[in-house]
Amino acid sequence: MATPIAYAFPEKCLNPKTGLVHNFAFGSNLSAEKMQSRGITVLRARPAVLRGYQLRFSQLGFPPAEPSFANLEPCTGAEVHGICFDLEPQQFGILWHGEGGGAWYAEELVTLSCYDGDCVEGVVAFMCLPERRVPGGGELPPSARYLSLLITGAAEVGLDPAYQTMLKAQPSTPMPTAAASFLIHHRLAFHLKMSKLVSAYPENAQPLPLRLFEALRAKYLIFGQTVGVRLVGSRFDWLTYLVYVPEAALGLLMQFTQASIGYFPGFITRRLSTV
């Protein structure tokens, strides 16, 4: 039996009192199916509420198929309902790696009030980085696929009925086609791989070819997101998929190469083979 890979994560995430990591799920991780698909074993899962924050769909996704994802933002008097997961460190490492390994989210420590009356401090909540937010500080309606994960998960764990009603009233965009999903999947794989590759080097120590490619990637990513945001909901939103083709092709090539030979040649070999 293969030994599970142990992913490093920020030390602050580990609760020194319990020796566990407590994580607040409020987005797609509400779905038990989503957690199971990642191979994550949860020690305990309890419905809980986070006060002083609001749920907003302000994390920029991949419009038009996946315009946005859920995010937490401070708001006096507001509250967000979700699940308090108790996880062994190794299991949280899998979750943290699957959430981008620090490339997409900041790990904030919050205090939860569980439905059973317990108060849990030092709970890790993933909040998207400023550069990952919808431009202008606004929101975009999530996809019907993504929103259904939140609605189904909230029902499965018995979150507050009023909160479930709020989720069901949230507007959404139509389900993406199979072709669109294919493009989005491989585009995301490309950017995740590149983010992990760049972060594997000390700051300002990346080889020149990688720095040049990363600068180009960053500009093209912004270009694609700008086009997607402007066209989402319009009859021309399909044009966004044309912009995604080069990134998706690179993502597909990277995954195919790594799956075939286990590594990339040249200066990438030692880095990407472990990402």
For the chain, list the domains and their CATH numbers. 11-168 (3.10.490.10), 178-272 (no CATH)
What b/e string do you get for 141-153 counting C-beta neighbours within 10 Å, with b at 16 or more?
Answer: bbbebbbbbbbbb
| Residues linked to residue 80 through DSSP beta bridges, in sequence order | 50
What one-character DSSP code corresponds to residue 135? G
pLDDT digits (tens, 9 = 90+) for 52-79: 999 999 998 878 778 899 999 999 999 9
Structure tokens at 236: 């021309």
pLDDT digits (tens, 9 = 90+) for 156-208: 999 999 999 999 999 998 876 778 778 878 888 888 778 777 777 776 788 88
Structure tokens at 42: 């949860």
> What pLDDT was estimated at residue 266?
43
* Amino acid (1-letter code) at residue 52: G
- Helix, strand or coil, per DSSP, at residue 86: strand
CA distance 50 to 111: 7
More confident residue, 80 or 252: 80
CA distance 158 to 152: 10
Torsion sign across C-alpha atoms 24, 28, 31, 35:
negative
> What pLDDT was estimated at residue 263?
52
Q: Is pLDDT at 18 greater than 90 in this prediction?
A: yes
Q: Is pLDDT at 4 greater than 60 in this prediction?
A: no
Q: Is pLDDT at 243 greater than 70 in this prediction?
A: yes
> What pLDDT was estimated at residue 33?
76
CA distance 96 to 102: 8
216 and 198 Cβ atoms separated by less than 8 Å: no
- Helix, strand or coil, per DSSP, at residue 6: coil
Distances (CA, A) of 226 to 64, 138, 213, 257: 11, 13, 20, 30
What one-character DSSP code corresponds to residue 233? T
> What pLDDT was estimated at residue 6?
58
> What pLDDT was estimated at residue 261?
63
> What pLDDT was estimated at residue 270?
44
79 and 90 Cβ atoms separated by less than 8 Å: no
More confident residue, 47 or 269: 47
- Paired sense of beta strands 44-62 and 66-87, if any: antiparallel
- The pLDDT-based confidence of 210 (bands split at 50, 70, 90) is confident
| Range in 110-119, 144-153, 169-178 the model is least confident about | 169-178
Give the Cα-Cα-Cα angle 139, 27, 61 (nearest 5 degrees).
45
Q: Is pLDDT at 252 greater than 70 in this prediction?
A: yes
82 and 167 Cβ atoms separated by less than 8 Å: no
> What pLDDT was estimated at residue 7?
66
| Residues linked to residue 74 through DSSP beta bridges, in sequence order | 53
The rounded mean pLDDT for the chain is 85
* Amino acid (1-letter code) at residue 272: L
Q: Is pLDDT at 272 greater than 80 in this prediction?
A: no
- The pLDDT-based confidence of 92 (bands split at 50, 70, 90) is very high
- The pLDDT-based confidence of 233 (bands split at 50, 70, 90) is low
- The pLDDT-based confidence of 91 (bands split at 50, 70, 90) is very high
Q: Is pLDDT at 114 greater than 90 in this prediction?
A: yes
Residue tagged 């070999």 (tokens): 269
CA distance 269 to 257: 11
Q: Is pLDDT at 271 greater than 50 in this prediction?
A: no
